[in-house]
Amino acid sequence: MGYEAVKESFSGGVFPVRIGKEKEEVFGGENTLPFHKFEGEVPNRPLIAYEIQDVAPEEWPETVRTVYEGVSEDPVKWARHCEEELGARAIALRLVGTHPDGKDLTAEEAVKTVTSVLEAVKAPVIILGSNHVEKDSEVLPRVAEAAKGYNCVIGKAQEANYKTIAAAAMANDHKLIAMSELDINLSKQLNILLTQMGFAKEKLITDPMCSALGYGLEYTYSVMERIRLAALAQNDEVMQPPMLGDVGMYVWKIKEVQAPEEVLPEWGSVEERGILWEALTATSLMLAGAELLIMRHPKAVEMVEKFVDELI
């Protein structure tokens, strides 16, 4: 008798999410564990979006900031550079300048930035707030309206502000990121609340909150893993949206990507270290189930894409 591999099949699947207007991208859609092509359908590659900002990335560490020198002062140039030079399949525009503790840019200024970036690129755009609960619920509805017709992803809706943000995303036909803080039950609860207000679960993206390698990655990994198993094995519909790994912002602030070689020669090249750190965090989360990743360093993105090439 010949050998026959045991195959696991699941009753549930992940919703495919299609974003963008001129150029569309689809992620999610599989009915099996990440990259288990031998057990089910994995119709789409994970989508990696290049992160850009509405203001110059002064707080980014030098090794990733210098990569965008000459373009990062202007979000339009920056977006074009990512698309045309780096081949970005998607752009994630973070409106960090709207944060009240930072430049405190107004919703009008945010609308201007968003509109000009949308006009400048063909790739789908993910529009992120500054992660300030009140300011986001002021800014995101306005930019969602301005971006109508572009089929963007808006984020992030949290327990404290989901109603206004979800209503705006719904009214303007966008997809929505629902973020909870590393708690699988609260993640499910938020998705239930969103669907109860009429937001289609097929248009959601779950963000269980990211963390960098060495800084609690295993928590994110475990929550993602369990969300995916609930989606597949328990056929839990509110847990079936694809998941986001917001990798760049969590990686590029830790000491391991910044400590200079003069101080810690045994840690090796600071540039290489940062790239590897971002790539490893991203690949780990992809293995846990993330289908949408937001990243910063082009070399890290390149590594992750290569990794996907081999798995898919």
Partner 1 sequence: MLVIGEKLSIIAKRVREAMEKREKGPIQEIAKRQAEEGAGMIDANIGPAEDGGEELMEWMVTTIQETVHLPVCLDTTNYGAIEAGLKVHNNDYGVPMINSTSNDPERFSMLELAAKYNCLIIGLTVGKGGLPADEEERAAIAAEIMARAMEYGVPLENLYLDPLVLQIATTQEQAIKVVRAVEMFQQLNEPPMKTVVGLSNISNGCPKHIRPILNKYYFLMLERVGLTAAIADAAEMKEALEEKADFEKVLRGEEIEDREKMVVMKKTIDVIEGNTLYAHSYLEM
Nearest residue (CB) to partner 1, 194 versus 275: 194
Report, in Å, the least distance between residue 243 CB and partner 1. Answer: 14
The Cβ of residue 203 has, within 10 Å, a number of other Cβ atoms equal to 22
Nearest residue (CB) to partner 1, 82 versus 243: 243
Sequence-separated (6 or more) residues with CB below 8 Å from residue 267: 256, 259, 261, 273
Nearest residue (CB) to partner 1, 171 versus 192: 192
Residues that bind partner 1 (CB under 8 A): 183-186, 188-189, 192-193, 196, 226, 230, 234, 236, 238-239
Report, in Å, the least distance between residue 31 CB and partner 1. Answer: 18
Report, in Å, the least distance between residue 158 CB and partner 1. Answer: 15
- CA nearest 206: which of 166, 237, 178? 178
Beta strand spans in 101-203 (E): 125-128, 153-157, 175-179
Report, in Å, the least distance between residue 12 CB and partner 1. Answer: 12
Tokens describing residue 244: 């986001």
Nearest residue (CB) to partner 1, 120 versus 186: 186
- CA nearest 158: which of 80, 246, 28? 246
Report, in Å, the least distance between residue 33 CB and partner 1. Answer: 17
What sections of 84-132 are H helices per DSSP? 107-120
Give the residue carrying structure tokens 């360093």: 297
Nearest residue (CB) to partner 1, 131 versus 189: 189
